[in-house]
Amino acid sequence: MKKASLFDVRSIVGALLFLYGLILLITSFTTSDAQKARADGVNANLWMGLVLLVFGILMLAWAVTRPIVVDEEQLEADKKEVEEAAGRRRDDDGGAGAAG
């Protein structure tokens, strides 16, 4: 069994959400009163930044605690089956092409 977590979509999405949340959190400190007034007095950058940070952390924690596990034996068996099927198709196509 081998862990394959480098290109796990949870890691990529979690990292991006964390990054966007961090950017929003930083920009929330520069939010003007006029911008807050347009959002009914709520600092939207602050709250959405916190939500994105938390969700990004949850996605990253999920990817770390439950990694994708690849069964090497099953993978090799599947590869062999695909190669055999491709060989049978070539044989079937080659014989029909020579007769026609």
Is residue 63 within 8 A of residue 16, CB to CB? The reply is no
User: How many angstroms separate the CA atoms of 62 and 30, rounded?
Assistant: 32
CA-wise closest residue to 73 among 81, 85, 83: 81
What are the C-alpha distances in Å from 59 to residues 13, 27, 49?
7, 23, 15
- Looking at residue 68, its pLDDT comes to 82
Q: What is the mean pLDDT of the chain?
A: 86
**Per-residue pLDDT for the chain (100 aa), expressed as one digit of tens each?**
666 666 789 999 999 999 999 999 999 999 899 989 988 999 999 999 999 999 999 999 999 898 888 778 888 888 999 998 888 888 777 655 555 4
